[in-house]
Every structure is written in structure tokens, then in C-alpha cells.
């Protein structure tokens, strides 16, 4: 609903900036979450991306070179420009927050990442997001074809079922 201009605020992590960077129908920006009276810092959710090399790879040198490329400063700068999300490399992150690209008010992100919280990890998250939330929740909310309650009633049972299956497998 934020994308259609029907909701005035959207709570997301640093990675969600890329979803909004092409909005032209209204002016938008970002700010840090408010903190309570006893909190030292506001702390939003921060995302994460992990890369690794399989122990059994037949091409360890090539895998290492690919890993260096994927996590290197050059590609991180390009990802920031294309996807609109803050790079994890400090020098590139500073360039990102100081750029004139939308959102304008992003300097606070450098401080925010020091206090942000990682979302709980689930091996089923990609399946829940891709198969349940994206088509059944975000799409209908963003288009305004369902209310929040209607969309939640449709997706929560499936999402909870997948999370329960994961718990039972452990």
C-alpha cells in the first residue's frame, strides 16, 4: 500500500530501499524508527546476505576468486546503485549515504547498522517469502485489492505451517 501512496509509512530494513527507488508518483524519503524513553538508540531491522564456499567444491581457487568478486568493493558499489541498498563495506557505504540518489535522508543508516537487529533466521524463509508472502500478501496489499486483515488471514496459516514443519525437522 505504500507503493500506491495509500499508507504513509513502511517499516523495513535497509534492503527495502531498492523496492522504492523507482517511485515517481509521489515524493518519499526515510527516517529512523522512533525510540522509547528508556532506549539508548533506535534500532531497526537489518538484513543480511551470506556467501560461502562449499567444503567439497572441485574448484576452490575459482570459488575463492568468485567470492572475492561478489563481496568486493567494486561490485558492492554497483549493487548499491542498481538495487538501492547500502553496501556492507564501510567506504562504499559512506559514499552511498552521501550520494544525492533517493532516499535523501540516509546518513543515519551508518549509525543505525551499529544498533540494528537481525531478523530471526529460518531455513524456510525463502520459501515462505517467495511462495506465500510475495504473491499472497505483498502483491494484494500493494495493489490495494485486499485489506491488511484479509491478506493476513490468507497467508498466516501457510507461513505458520512451514515454520512448524521446520521446528519438527530439528
Residues 6+ positions from 57 with CB-CB distance below 8 Å: 63
HEC states along 80-147? HHHHCCCCCCHHHHHHHHHCCCCCCCCCCHHHHHHHCEECCCCCCHHHHHHHHHHHHHHHHHHHCCCC
Biggest CA pair distance of the chain? 55
Helix then strand then coil, % of the chain, to nearest 5: 50, 0, 45
Q: Give the pLDDT score at 141.
A: 73
- Residue 168, pLDDT above cutoff 80: yes
- Rounded to two decimals, what is the model's pTM? 0.61
What does the block give as the cell for 64? 575463492
User: Average pLDDT for residues 47-75, to the nearest whole number?
Assistant: 91
Q: Give the pLDDT score at 62.
A: 97
Q: Give the pLDDT score at 43.
A: 67
Q: pLDDT class for 59, splitting at 50, 70, 90?
A: very high
Mean predicted lDDT score pLDDT of the chain: 82
What does the block give as the cell for 63? 570459488
- Residue 1, pLDDT above cutoff 70: no
Contact, 11 vs 33, CB < 8 A? Answer: yes
Comparison of pLDDT for 56 and 102, the residue scoring more? 56
Q: What are the beta bridge partners of residue 45?
A: 117
Q: Give the pLDDT score at 63.
A: 96
Q: pLDDT class for 119, splitting at 50, 70, 90?
A: low
Amino acid at each position: 500500500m505504500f507503493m500506491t501512496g495509500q499508507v504513509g509509512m513502511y517499516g523495513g530494513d535497509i534492503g527495502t530501499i531498492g523496492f522504492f527507488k523507482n517511485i515517481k508518483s509521489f515524493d518519499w524519503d526515510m527516517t529512523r524508527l522512533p525510540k522509547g524513553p528508556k532506549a539508548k538508540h533506535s534500532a531497526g531491522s537489518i538484513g543480511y546476505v551470506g556467501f560461502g564456499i562449499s567444503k567439497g567444491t572441485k574448484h576452490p581457487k575459482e570459488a575463492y576468486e568468485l567470492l572475492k568478486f561478489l563481496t568486493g568493493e567494486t561490485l558492492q558499489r554497483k549493487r548499491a546503485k542498481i538495487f538501492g541498498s547500502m553496501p556492507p563495506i564501510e567506504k562504499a557505504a559512506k559514499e552511498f549515504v552521501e550520494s544525492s540518489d533517493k532516499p535523501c535522508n540516509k546518513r543515519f543508516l551508518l549509525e543505525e547498522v551499529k544498533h540494528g537487529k537481525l531478523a530471526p533466521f529460518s531455513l524456510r524463509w525463502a520459501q515462505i517469502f517467495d511462495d506465500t508472502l510475495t504473491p499472497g500478501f505483498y502483491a494484494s496489499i500493494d495493489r490495494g485489492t485486499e485489506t491488511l486483515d484479509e491478506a493476513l488471514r490468507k497467508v498466516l496459516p501457510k507461513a505458520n505451517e512451514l515454520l512448524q514443519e521446520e521446528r519438527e525437522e530439528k
